[in-house]
Amino acid sequence: MKPVVSCVLSIFLMACAANAIAQQSIEIKPLKPNRTAWPQPEIVSNYGNLQYLGGLGFDFKPPEGCFGLCGGYSGMTIHPDGKKLTLVSDNNHWLEVDLALNNEGLPIGFAGKATVTKMSGVPANHHAESLRRVEKGWLLSFEVDDRRPAESDKILVLADEKKRFNPVSGLEAVAKSLAADNGLEAVALLKDGGMLLFEEGRKQNAGHSCVWYQAANGAVVGMAWPVDDEFRPTDAVATKNDAVLVLERRFPYNHKGQTIYFTSARLRLITPDAIQASLKHASMQSENCSPGNGVPVLEPQPGKLLLMKGEVVKGKDDPRSPLDNMEGIDVRCVRAPDNRDKVLWIYMNSDDNLNADQQTTMLLVFQSNNAELNKAACG
């Protein structure tokens, strides 16, 4: 990385010369650096078996770090060796952190200082949501917070190693179909060069939100994604065999003064066969994502790979629980203790929405103990 570029910053948009990148080093201290510091979250799983390994809470030092914008992290990637974590914020900056690992490879703290990089050239009404590592850079998706239709060249971009942006073309149909105040919440990269693009959801499509497949040649397929119980997609990641894990969250919901739902998160699994079956019955270059009329439903595996429910104390979410607004997900394969087979580790991060009533940024780690999923994902 280049040294810090001295320039005047707007809170939302860099006003520097083109391609100028502002950086800052901050100190991060772990709030809860081991697996025993948090209680085991309540987990209900009827597909496979996920084990909670532990996590970290982020204590940003100094408070004015990250250009005064620490928090709001909605997308993440973890390096294959588990030693580097990269996060993107709703306020459009990058946070890159070196992780200290124990002998098992589990993060137990932070190694040195973190690097914060302000995004250049992002419109003030666009907010980063999903982050995926690609060859020679990153792929980022954005949501839009006004009532105008999303711009097709602003909802998905490629960033090179110097974090300079280039829009992904061919998304005119997707942008047209997106609801106002919406955008691309999650992106899963498939081995054929295609992508699954998820929106967070819309109320006018009862029971379904939209997901699109963009092929490597740019062709687009609209599909419906089944939603229920107020859960909505926040991120997605594909394993090397194209099994896709979709992270969904549910905020507390109150009705007539009574709390119906508490903070919850769940994982749903899409098999490679389900993806191919949906594409087989889809109409290419269709912007429509409402079920019926040739629009298939992309069906997840029955049941949930993981369901976590927030702990409740006196009718409110327990601040001691390691569960909050889970928004980012990534995976890596780790050698099992018997040193023969690899197992899938699933990393999730929370987005505190820069809200003092929520917890700070958290990183949680889970292990898959499902032999079939581990073999498919890690080989």
Rounded Cα distance between 347 and 249, Å, is 15
How confident is the prediction along the chain (379 residues), in pLDDT tens digits per residue?
Answer: 322 222 222 222 222 223 346 788 887 777 654 444 445 555 554 445 678 888 888 877 665 667 667 788 999 999 999 999 999 998 888 999 999 998 889 898 888 878 888 887 787 788 899 999 998 899 999 988 765 666 767 789 998 888 888 888 888 878 877 766 578 999 999 999 999 999 987 654 568 888 999 999 888 888 999 988 788 899 999 998 999 999 998 876 665 666 555 677 888 999 999 999 998 887 655 667 877 677 888 999 877 676 766 554 444 444 555 567 789 999 999 987 766 788 999 999 988 766 665 667 888 888 888 888 888 888 7
Residue reference for tokens 């950086």: 23
Rounded Cα distance between 143 and 166, Å, is 17
Best CA proximity match to 269, nearest among 241, 295, 303: 303
Rounded Cα distance between 198 and 278, Å, is 15
Q: What is the pLDDT of residue 86?
A: 95
Rounded Cα distance between 24 and 40, Å, is 35
- pTM of the entire structure? 0.85
The DSSP result for 137-193, as a single string, is EEEEEEEE-SSSPPPTTTSEEEEETT--EEEPPS-HHHHHHSPTT-BEEEEEE-TTS
Give me the torsion for CA of 349, 265, 248, 163, rounded to 10°: -10
Tell me the CATH number for domain 23-378.
Answer: 2.115.10
Across-strand partners of 61? 27
User: Would you call 190 exposed, middle or buried from its count of C-beta atoms within 10 A (0-12, 13-18, 19+)?
Assistant: middle
Q: Which two tokens stand for residue 14?
A: 């860099």
